[in-house]
Structure 1
């Protein structure tokens, strides 16, 4: 008999199910692909939004959820469905969330304290760090090279005047949040010669970071940096960390990059700063409301790149999540500390 019964309530290709079974043979990985929506693209953890289960299929789906010790993914990527599962299944002891920011799904479940104590929640943190860091480097470089002006000239068929551009190696960049993503950003920027200043709640070892300051000092830092990269989770403490007040104090023409969560920037204030030139360029992969509403002025601003929360999606994403899950299953069964455990106070 298997030591851990795991149900997969979210789309996962069969070859990756088999990989998990190979990596950790002590688990029983239960799945029924007929009960899951087809993926629209590799790494799609929600599946076809038009997929509907029959009442009989829904009953079978919930019965499998309620028979599991652990779940690979949050049912329907929904906090409400996770809450139902936690209440209905007293044997449930572990849920792995496929997003790196899976703490938001746990928060949305509105679980009782007993449920938060009984169930361990883990995320896919770290899996997306490298591609997100590459997007961040792109954003800093695009701002430095004045990409908006190049595109304006190109679309107008104008051979623009020669103008000096700053060397990336002469720039100072603030990386806000030194988790897995922030550390990857710092490492890549530092390799290009950038002076990286980290903003983090505590002092840690971070390759490529010249110094670390606490978030309380962000206001004094922003007038002295050429770009700011936000790599923060969505918590009460990080909401609008890049606030209207701080955006009034930035170095003129600063570049803003966000690869964390959209709620960490006051989006209305950022829009105003982009219009009046206080912010010269923004590369945004995340937004306060997603999908970004069609009437958002960010769509039309020439000095903004809108990425549809896609910068962390890459070819090996699903395989790396599967490998992470298998490693955490091994740790759980062997009594070792698990990776990426969600803080159920701040939910990150």
Structure 2
């Protein structure tokens, strides 16, 4: 069942009911709150910035971890959350906050998550399937597609152009007598695990550089510009012909360690791996073995099975690994883009239309 096809009708506004209330649960610029208010004058937007932690950087949805509310402020915050029909963000940007508001607020019908892959947090909340039918959760999927795709292309080009080796030589002030050739992007083949919005944007950029692209999708239907589309069980077969493999898949029980020993065994020596999906999709022990034997020539990793990446992980020190601290989706435009996405969805919600990117209440993607 596609998350895009799930109807919003069980949570649609009721004619003649009191005005819809939207509460801003996470830090947000005042001008973006006003843009949400401008969607419909009949909607009451509840926003009390003094109850929200200050942002430390653009799109810092959790805010400063040192922020503490007084007892009175904490009561005001939860009174605000529990008076709303719709929430912009999870309370306290946490699974526990989501679980609490679902339990305490019987009028709540819709929560819009800041993350593209909010299914993991929804699952971690322990909220029942019945409650998730009452309170639908939508994600910000798509907002992060371009920055993630650009990061993925950077990772591919790093691998093709040997930037890790160049950096080592530069630090050593070494000018090798024997020159080592690089590989061309044009004519290279990229396999993308997960041809959703992020995967398709990655494919678009890859094709612009002359690469060919294959990939996996739940429904293996042809996609224009993609050489071959297959289901995930055929990933080893596709990967056998790859110069680079890019993961954009979310973390679910069905994707856990999908890129593991079977996939690595199928790769040609020197294949590039980029992960901008979820860390649990890659078997990190198998990846380390593949790096050691040269099957994976370079790995560009923005996500990890455990985050923050433990200090003892060999990935930190591997010469052919780039570690990014789960920041590749961040951009200065993120808050604006999410607010615009929410405003668009709010119009659909008011009209009783289906909302895109709803978290599946059973499979959590």
TM-score of the pair, normalised by structure 2: 0.92
1:263-342 → structure 2 map (5 Å cutoff): 263-342=280-359
**Quick check: 1:2–1:28 contact (8 Å CA) kept in 2?**
no
Ranked by relative contact order (alpha carbons within 8 Å, sequence separation 6 or more), the top structure is 2
1:148 offset after TM fit, Å?
Answer: 1.9
1:172-212 CA distances to partner (integer Å, 9 max, x unpaired)?
11011011100000111011110101111213464531121
- Structure 2 distance, partners of 1:203, 1:249, is 21
**Quick check: 2:301–2:321 contact (8 Å CA) kept in 1?**
yes
Change (3 A) 1:203 1:211: same
Change (3 A) 1:261 1:283: same
Q: Are positions 1:122 and 2:133 aligned together?
A: no
| Matched residue SS, 1:95 | strand
**Quick check: 1:140–1:255 contact (8 Å CA) kept in 2?**
yes
1:83-102 → structure 2 map (5 Å cutoff): 83-102=99-118
- Partner of residue 39, structure 2: 23
- Structure 2 distance, partners of 1:156, 1:113, is 57
- Partner of residue 255, structure 1: 272
Gaps in structure 2 of 5+ consecutive residues: 1-16
- Structure 2 distance, partners of 1:25, 1:219, is 53
Count of matched residue pairs = 348
Q: Are positions 1:33 and 2:49 aligned together?
A: yes
- Structure 2 distance, partners of 1:177, 1:24, is 36
- Structure 2 distance, partners of 1:332, 1:217, is 38
Gaps in structure 1 of 5+ consecutive residues: none
Q: Are positions 1:54 and 2:78 aligned together?
A: no
Q: Are positions 1:230 and 2:230 aligned together?
A: no
| Matched residue SS, 1:71 | strand
| Matched residue SS, 1:170 | coil
- Structure 1 distance, partners of 2:243, 2:42, is 51
- Structure 2 distance, partners of 1:252, 1:206, is 29
Once superposed, what is the RMSD of the aligned Cα atoms?
1.4
1:141-166 CA distances to partner (integer Å, 9 max, x unpaired)?
11111122212221221212222222
1:12-45 CA distances to partner (integer Å, 9 max, x unpaired)?
1111111111234332110111111110001000
Following superposition, which runs of at least 4 residues in structure 1 exceed 6 angstroms of deviation? none
Higher mean displacement: 310-319 or 107-116: 107-116
1:287 offset after TM fit, Å?
Answer: 0.8
**Quick check: 1:77–1:105 contact (8 Å CA) kept in 2?**
no
1:335 offset after TM fit, Å?
Answer: 1.1
| Matched residue SS, 1:127 | coil
- Partner of residue 120, structure 2: 104
1:248 offset after TM fit, Å?
Answer: 2.5
Higher mean displacement: 66-75 or 22-31: 22-31
1:265-312 CA distances to partner (integer Å, 9 max, x unpaired)?
011221222233221101111111111112211111111111111111
TM-score of the pair, normalised by structure 1: 0.97
| Matched residue SS, 1:347 | coil
Aligned match of 1:162 in 179, 188, 196?
179
| Matched residue SS, 2:186 | helix
- Partner of residue 214, structure 2: 197
Higher mean displacement: 198-207 or 69-78: 198-207
- Structure 2 distance, partners of 1:225, 1:45, is 37
- Structure 2 distance, partners of 1:275, 1:9, is 46
